[in-house]
Chains A and B, each alone.
Chain A
Amino acid sequence: SQQGEEDPQALSIQEGENATMNCSYKTSINNLQWYRQNSGRGLVHLILIRSNEREKHSGRLRVTLDTSKKSSSLLITASRAADTASYFCATDGRDRDDKIIFGKGTRLHILP
């Protein structure tokens, strides 16, 4: 079964607006990662947040982690057309030997 579940499945916003995507997971984790996948391309690692961290920033990205709720959010501020992609969360669980499990992703579309 999939560990990560992203919400919403699809999101369309105007360029310049902020985009927020959420991820929920089921079991204990070592860390949670967000990836981006452009159409026809491989996954690109965006940010990793460890289980003892609550918030992390990288450029226009902000990730939060709430281990009590087993959820994470990815915020992209001041969105750009180039942000159009699918975004996946992935968890690296304590109970599994380094295996990464992905959700189905959120398809983000930035409207000009």
Chain B
Amino acid sequence: NAGVMQNPRHLVRRRGQEARLRCSPMKGHSHVYWYRQLPEEGLKFMVYLQKENIIDESGMPKERFSAEFPKEGPSILRIQQVVRGDSAAYFCASSPGLGQNYFGPGTRLTVT
């Protein structure tokens, strides 16, 4: 059973471009969480999704950020018109429900 997959592992974007981060949960997991880790800071919750539904997006910036978890395919975290402050590591985690979350290796986004 493959773990949580994230791609790309590293992504470089110029200011104003769009960034798309993908997360494939573990097989059988229908819960996906996205976290952001800024340099020198802890992980911060962004959004929690179940298949085709956003359950909690309280940690998501109101503008430029969106997330989806379609019926088929990976979960996508989309950042439009990236700015330097978006540079961070973005982790997703999946879970079958209550309890343990399994994390992916993260995507390191660098905005130049």
Residues of A within 8 A of B (CB): 2, 30-31, 33, 35, 41-45, 48, 88, 90, 92, 96-105
Contacts and interface: CB of A to CB of B under 8 A. Distances in A.
Interface residues of B, number: 24
B69 interface: no
Contacts of B100: 33, 45, 48
Given A92-B98, A97-B48, A99-B48, A42 B42 contact: no
Contacts, number: 59
A45 B102 contact: yes
B24 to A, nearest CB: 14
A104 to B, nearest CB: 4
B57 to A, nearest CB: 11
Contacts of A35: 103
A28 to B, nearest CB: 14
A10 to B, nearest CB: 12
A21 B41 CA distance: 18
Contacts of B56: 96-97, 99
Given A41-B105, A43-B103, A48-B100, A100 B93 contact: yes
